[in-house]
Amino acid sequence: MSYSAPLIHQLDVFLVFLGVGFLLGAVYTFVAFFRRLTGETAAACFVCDFLFCALSSVVLFLFLLAYANGRVRINLLLSAGAGFAAFSLSLGKPLRRVLFGAADAIHHALLLLLRPLKHFWTAMIRGLGRGQNRLRAFFIRRKQKKLTKNSKNCANSIK
């Protein structure tokens, strides 16, 4: 004979996992914001998605331990997925629109603030390149002078 939890307890656990999925949807929206802020490079997308997957699996595991006595039940995972979808379809789009607008504004402001530094650093690097060429030319001339001096000394010693 197997024990089945009362229906009210099952409904309570279902609603908890629905809330967990809803919160994971909110977390993913903020992860997408940071991905957008970093320029959506492949490495940034991989790191952000990997960290989100690790976080969501740990959270789901801990809630499964706490509420389902460690038993993985498909209905609980589906309820978490339904909560994620509910967030994405309800609050996700407007929140993403606001956050992505903020990310674009932050990115644009940083570009405006860092543009003078970019010009400064490129001028510095250009100057160092010219200085390096001047230094190289100085040592080449010095070496040529030594070679001509040595060749004159050799010519004088032969006579």
Task: For residue range 125-155, list pLDDT tens digits in order.
Answer: 666 656 566 666 667 777 777 767 666 666 5
CA-based nearest residue to 16, from 107, 92, 111, 82: 82
Question: Between these two residues, 139 and 9, which has the higher pLDDT value?
Answer: 9
**Average pLDDT for the chain:** 83
Question: Between these two residues, 86 and 70, which has the higher pLDDT value?
Answer: 86
Is residue 17 a contact partner of residue 76, using CB atoms and an 8 Å limit?
yes
Please check the confidence at residue 69 and state whether its pLDDT lies above 70.
yes
Please check the confidence at residue 68 and state whether its pLDDT lies above 70.
yes
Is residue 17 a contact partner of residue 78, using CB atoms and an 8 Å limit?
no
Looking at residues 96-120, what average pLDDT do you find? 85
Quick: pLDDT tens for 43-55. 888 999 999 999 9
The C-alpha atoms of residue 28 and residue 24 are separated, in whole angstroms, by 6
Q: Please work out, in degrees rounded to the nearest 5, the angle formed at the alpha carbon of residue 110 by the alpha carbons of 108 and 114.
A: 125
The C-alpha atoms of residue 25 and residue 84 are separated, in whole angstroms, by 5
Confidence category of residue 19, pLDDT binned at 50, 70, 90:
very high
Question: Between these two residues, 46 and 5, which has the higher pLDDT value?
Answer: 46
Question: Between these two residues, 148 and 56, which has the higher pLDDT value?
Answer: 56
Burial category of 30 from C-beta neighbours within 10 Å (exposed 0-12, middle 13-18, buried 19 and up): middle
Looking at residues 72-91, what average pLDDT do you find? 92
pLDDT score, position 127: 65
Total-model pTM: 0.65
CA-based nearest residue to 22, from 73, 64, 66, 85: 85
pLDDT score, position 1: 47
pLDDT score, position 4: 66
The C-alpha atoms of residue 31 and residue 23 are separated, in whole angstroms, by 12
